[in-house]
Amino acid sequence: MIQANDLKKGYGEVRALDGLSFEVPEGAIFGLLGPNGAGKSTAVKVLTTLARADGGEARVAGFDVARDARRVRRTIGVVAQKSGVDIDLTGRENLMLQGRLQGMRGRELSSRAEALLEEFGLADAAGRVTRGYSGGMQRRLDIAIGLVHRPKVLFLDEPTTGLDPEVRAAMWTEISRLQRDEGLTILLTTHYLEEADRLASSLAIVDRGRVVASGAPDELKAALDGDSVQVELDGVEANGNVHAALSGVGGLSAVSVDGRRLHARAADGARAVPAVLAALDAHAIPVASVRVARPSLDDVYLRYAGRSFAAAEAEKPTENKEAGR
């Protein structure tokens, strides 16, 4: 339902998209996972006809996004990062307005609006001005607005950013229901590892405008052999001494350091920990904590992007600033 092939997009010297390619099968929840500034929102803007790529091609529901933009817009629903709710209108009025913009009228529009209000738990608040809605209620209304014209493809750009954990979990349930019960194809962008892991049947990990890994979350994690060993150093920055200290520890691979965090892989993490701690102690490198875990999407990101997800998030994002010009 969605095909992106070698998409390129620049804003001055910033390469927001640098050869981005992926495909989304019909009826799937597909995740674009990456830190802020990775190129996810720019990709959504290109795929939803809000921006034109500098190079490459893209199709949505069989339509070329550049040559058949009008057909693409009739086929898709979009929930952007910034809420599209008009806070001076009621929930019902927001839905009716969007329906009219999509060419809907009369009983068809009224019944669709009422059905969506009920479906998203907003029926009791339908006549209230949305300025008084909670963040979770406004976000549910955002999704309802995106669905009023019964699109085949729904784009959700960071749909749970800023929501508290309980509301975020409720949104995850709602998104899964939409895919399961209505057969929607959903493209979800997120920088939450847990969100991608829980919702996406397949995903593409995006870093600096390109896909560095793709596949089902469980398959990507299973491809990393052994355990993840993560060490938090106590009050000192990791430096070249760490690699020197661990050079004699057998069974370790993919050793990397990021600030005060040490990451490594081991065939048997529990057996490796004592040797790792002894080696660090021998080089006077204090340790605050150590953790052994099965591979996560953070480990997948580290392997293919060359740095941890947290380190990438800490970098100064450029995409949103440049895209806003």
SS3 state at 193 = helix
Res 324: pLDDT: 46
Distance CA 50, CA 70 (A): 11
Mean of the per-residue pLDDT values for the chain? 91
Q: Which two tokens stand for residue 50?
A: 């809000």
Structural domains of the chain sorted by starting position, each given as residue range(s) with its CATH number in brackets: 2-220 (3.40.50.300), 225-294 (3.30.70.2470)
pLDDT at 284 over 60: yes
Q: How wide is the angle at C-alpha 292 spanned by C-alphas 287 and 293, nearest 5°?
A: 145
Phi and psi at residue 261, to the nearest 5°:
-110, 135
pLDDT at 323: 45
Q: What pLDDT is recorded for position 17? A: 97
Smallest CA-to-CA distance from 266 within 230, 302, 232, 242 is with 230
Residue 104 CA, distance from chain mean position:
32
Strand partners, 211: 206
* Residue 257, pLDDT score: 84
The pLDDT of residue 319 is 52
In this prediction, residues 166-190 reach a mean pLDDT of: 93
38-53: per-residue pLDDT in tens? 999 999 999 999 999 9
Percent of the chain with pLDDT over 70: 95
Whether 81 and 41 have beta carbons less than 8 Å apart is answered as: yes
- Which parts of the chain fold into alpha helices (H)? 40-47, 69-75, 91-101, 106-119, 135-147, 165-182, 193-199, 217-222, 240-246, 269-282, 297-305, 309-314, 319-323
